[in-house]
Amino acid sequence: METAVEPEFNPNYPPYIERVFTFTITPKQAPVRLDVYLTEVMPNATRSKVQEAIENGAVLVNSLTATKGSRKTQPNDVIECRMMKPPPMELVPENIPLDICYEDDSLLVINKPAGMVVHPGFGNRYGTLVNALLWHFGQREAIPLLETGESDDEDENNEDEEITESALLASDAVRPGIVHRLDKDTSGILVVAKDVVSHARLAKQFAERTAKRQYYALVWGIVKDDVGVIEGNLGRSPRDRKKMAVLQKGGKVAITEYTVLERFSSCTLLALKLRTGRTHQIRVHCAHIKHPLVGDDEYGGGSVFYAGNSGQWKALGERLLKLIPRQALHAKTLGFKHPAGNEWLEFDSELPEDFAMALEEARREITARIS
């Protein structure tokens, strides 16, 4: 898979534009931290971006370079901040190879690699599946887009500040209609509609849970029950808005079925089905039952702690994390009725190389212990 190149280093992408913001502290204003002040007064600023600007010498106070975000503002201070403004949001067709399982006049079935974002957004403008699909469908000119937003009700992915599906479908030039999504680091099968009618009919199947979807996940620890159901309402984590969590109050109903396929000395291979389709549902539910996905840094699976306390288990855990340095989650099977002919279509994908290698390593460790 080709990776996206940062736009400021690629002459084919619009360059970033420097914007200078100047503020004067009023005599009656109480002193506050410099980074806090700039975060509050600058449009669309975040604390991390402001702190980065200070570290890069892009903030001046009374014509002197500010070195610490903790510096308190004083009456009559003149603060100047130079920030690189991204160009207007647009969809840029990119010649990125696609692993196509099936294609006809109504739809396209893709085997998405781990590492590829599905929808473009302000943080992921290039190298996404939509960029690749535009090129595949013959689009060559960039398409300006203004509408952005986010959704909590899709499969396994929710990129911050991503472009909404309504914006993608609003223009006749934008053909890709992503029916369901996968998280950036989740691999596997997904379907793309080529027209609005096909998109609506496919989306209805996903909403009504008549489409067949099965995921494979490698989780830390030994899952005791051969089959089980995980229930717990999901919503934004009160501690970190970018993460999802099982909530005691509020949230949306989320139900995940699982079946144990193989048990190893320190991890378990699961097949999972979603009764609901919430953001990061599998990842959060598995972490909730103390079996986070191997390699899932965001939800506690990036540590070998769950591999056990013995030196042997810890060593295996470290090897697994090197083999699959992302969440071990793969959308293996997808089935649905064709939106035009109504016949049933079903697709199955092989595990990607990193996932397969991690499984083989776990199996070798079991064999070594037995022998």
194: closest CA among 216, 215, 174, 209? 174
Is residue 190 within 8 Å of residue 109, measured between CB atoms?
yes
Helix (H, G, I), strand (E, B) or coil at 20: strand
183 in catalytic set = yes
Burial classification of residue 245, based on how many CB atoms lie within 10 Å of its CB (0-12 exposed, 13-18 middle, 19 or more buried): buried
Q: What is the DSSP letter of 293?
A: B
26 residue type, one letter: T
Q: Containing H/E element for 316?
A: helix 311-323
Give the Cα separation of 50 and 47 in Å (integer).
5
Catalytic residue among 183, 185, 296, 354: 183
- 155: closest CA among 329, 321, 12, 27? 329
**3-class DSSP state for residue 214?**
strand
CA-CA distance, 118 to 144, in Å (whole number)?
Answer: 18
The CA distance from 215 to 273, in Å, is 6
Q: How far apart are CA 35 and CA 51, in angstroms?
A: 6
- 338: burial class by Cβ within 10 Å (0-12, 13-18, 19+)? middle
Residues annotated catalytic, as ranges = 183
